[in-house]
Copies of this chain bind each other. A is one copy, B any other.
Amino acid sequence: MSETVIKFGILGCADIARKVGRAISLAPNATIVAVGSCSAQKAAKFAADHGFPPGTQSTALRTPSSTTRSLHAKWAVLAAQKKKHLILQKPVAVDVAEFDKIVEACVASCVQFMDGTMTARMKEFISDGRAFGKLRAMHTCFTFAADPVFLENDIRVKPDLDALGALGDADWYCIWAILWGNDYELPRTMTTSRGPLFNKAGVILSCGASLDWEDGRVATFHCSFLSHLTMDITAVGMKGTLHVHDFIIPFQESEASFSVASESGFDGKPAEHLVSTSLPQEAMMVKEFSSLVGAIKAKGSHPEMRWPIISRKTQLVIDAVKLSIERRFEPVEILG
């Protein structure tokens, strides 16, 4: 029996929608059936421009503004109530209270929830006690040099649209990666670093923080819209080190590269590893999501709660970063 093909509707026509749209086209168990935007014309043009399947419905969303973060909750809850399974782009919500409303709606309707963060594929090495040992420290960095148009107009720099700025965008990925490396164990405290940068409207353009766990593990992240593209994960274990320099989007679409060193000395150059994937990582995500939804539809499976749990933890740390900056870089305890 062939797998159920899951039908997707896309809300919003931002660049990420183009990207996820392509991923849906590539995933073998997914297809696009509808696009919604502020006007049906805009949605139709978007579908045509990006080669979405003929017959894709174009819908005008009855909303005062676009489908930005601040409206995520409204649309997400509405969609869940209509029994639609959800992939939500990061940042999922403006804070964890809003996040919980979305997940509650998903649970009530028995629909799958997933955030759009791409999955990393070098877990095997850092899970290998013999080669990597116990994780001691993780450092992540995601920066990109936004152009002047972005810095003036993008929803990510508007306080009334995506109020979180770099925190909800670049930081989301970094925090997500740190939690991933720490088996999704929340840190004990999170302290933002001095020197964050804001635009005139007070939206964060650059910030960093350090996190620590009970057992002495530590992590840092640094994120910015104002520096050259850098996408680093460094994970240091007692016996090994992992370096990734393209953890957000691999330099080569179907290939993830990272380097590892294990029990090596000063003459031990890290070994380069390449992991080939049959699909780009965002298509892998759509495929995974569609499989889960297919199982719910075909076999009455329960939604996989692993995804909303991970997203919620990421959101909790994001909330802590915001609070720590508001409190002038005071540490914030993170309570799961």
* Residues on A facing B (Cβ under 8 Å): 132-133, 136-137, 139, 141, 143, 145, 188-189, 191, 193-195, 197, 206, 208, 210, 212-213, 216-218, 220, 222, 224, 226-230, 232, 234, 236-241, 243, 245-246, 248-249, 251-252, 257, 259, 261-270, 329, 331
In the complex, chain B residues whose CB is within 8 Å of the CB of A232: 139, 234, 243
How many Å from the CB of A226 to the closest CB on chain B?
A: 6
Please determine whether B228 and A239 come into contact, CB atoms closer than 8 angstroms: yes
How many Å from the CB of A200 to the closest CB on chain B?
A: 15
Number of identical monomers bound together in the oligomeric complex: 2
In the complex, chain B residues whose CB is within 8 Å of the CB of A241: 227-230
Asked, given contacts A208-B210, A234-B141, whether A226 binds B194 with beta carbons under 8 Å apart, the answer is: no
Please determine whether A136 and B229 come into contact, CB atoms closer than 8 angstroms: no
Give Cα A217–Cα B196 distance, bound, in whole angstroms.
9
Offer 12 A-B interface pairs, CB within 8 angstroms, sorted by A.
Answer: A136-B206, A141-B234, A191-B329, A194-B212, A195-B218, A197-B216, A210-B210, A226-B238, A228-B236, A228-B262, A228-B263, A228-B264
In the complex, chain B residues whose CB is within 8 Å of the CB of A226: 136, 238
Please determine whether B213 and A195 come into contact, CB atoms closer than 8 angstroms: yes
Please determine whether B224 and A137 come into contact, CB atoms closer than 8 angstroms: yes
Q: Which residue of B lies closest to A331 (CB)?
A: B194
Please determine whether B264 and A229 come into contact, CB atoms closer than 8 angstroms: yes
Q: Which residue of B lies closest to A240 (CB)?
A: B228
Please determine whether B139 and A229 come into contact, CB atoms closer than 8 angstroms: no
Asked, given contacts A133-B228, A241-B230, A269-B251, whether A220 binds B218 with beta carbons under 8 Å apart, the answer is: no
Please determine whether A227 and B238 come into contact, CB atoms closer than 8 angstroms: yes
The 9 closest A-B pairs by CB, nearest first: A195-B212, A193-B210, A251-B269, A136-B227, A194-B212, A249-B266, A227-B236, A195-B218, A230-B241
How many Å from the CB of A206 to the closest CB on chain B?
A: 7
Give Cα A49–Cα B206 distance, bound, in whole angstroms.
54
16 new A-B contacts, CB < 8 A, other than A145-B239, A193-B212, are: A136-B227, A139-B139, A139-B232, A194-B212, A194-B331, A195-B212, A197-B216, A208-B220, A210-B220, A224-B236, A226-B238, A228-B236, A228-B261, A228-B262, A232-B234, A251-B267
Give Cα A195–Cα B251 distance, bound, in whole angstroms.
34
Asked, given contacts A136-B224, A220-B222, whether A210 binds B194 with beta carbons under 8 Å apart, the answer is: yes
Cβ contact of A216, chosen from B206, B230, B246, cutoff 8 A: B206
How many Å from the CB of A186 to the closest CB on chain B?
A: 14
Please determine whether B222 and A137 come into contact, CB atoms closer than 8 angstroms: yes
How many Å from the CB of A145 to the closest CB on chain B?
A: 6
Give Cα A210–Cα B191 distance, bound, in whole angstroms.
10
